Amino acid sequence: MALTRDYKETIRARVQRDPEFKEALLKEAIECLLAGDVDAGKSILRGFIKATIGFEELSKAVDKKSESLIRMLSPKGNPRANNLFQIIAHIQKQEGVHMEVKLIR
């Protein structure tokens, strides 16, 4: 099911007014990817990008066409690991955060 414009605008507005929500959204995207739920991780990351930096600005930062980035993170997209990590690294730099993996037994 496609997301409605109202939903996308609601997410964008919340991200811009609530820094904790913005960080939680990024964290959830990364956790989904690490847990193997790539589709959910890509979807959340795509929403995060749309609500923050935008694909045009991200494309300049990672030297990839915005259309390619959008396609990579689409439901049928299959981003290479180096592209995905490059995107995540730039977002961390842009947001001034550093995510670390913690081993839990």
Q: Where are the domains of the chain?
A: 5-95
| Two structure tokens written together for 75 | 């439901």
In the three-class reduction of DSSP (H, G, I as helix; E, B as strand; rest coil), residue 64 is classed as coil
Question: What distance in Å separates the CA atoms of residue 56 and residue 8, rounded to the nearest whole number?
Answer: 17
| Two structure tokens written together for 57 | 């600005």
DSSP state of 61: H
The gap between the terminal CA atoms of the chain, to the nearest Å, is 36
Per-residue pLDDT of the chain (105 residues; tens, 9 = 90+): 566 668 788 889 999 999 999 999 999 999 999 999 999 999 999 999 999 999 999 999 999 999 999 999 999 999 999 999 999 999 999 999 999 988 889
Let me know: does 57 contact 93? Beta carbons within 8 Å. Answer: no
- With CA atoms as reference, report the closest residue to 53 among 62, 71, 20: 62
In the three-class reduction of DSSP (H, G, I as helix; E, B as strand; rest coil), residue 101 is classed as coil
Amino acid at 59: S
pLDDT at residue 34 in the model = 94
pTM of the entire predicted model:
0.88
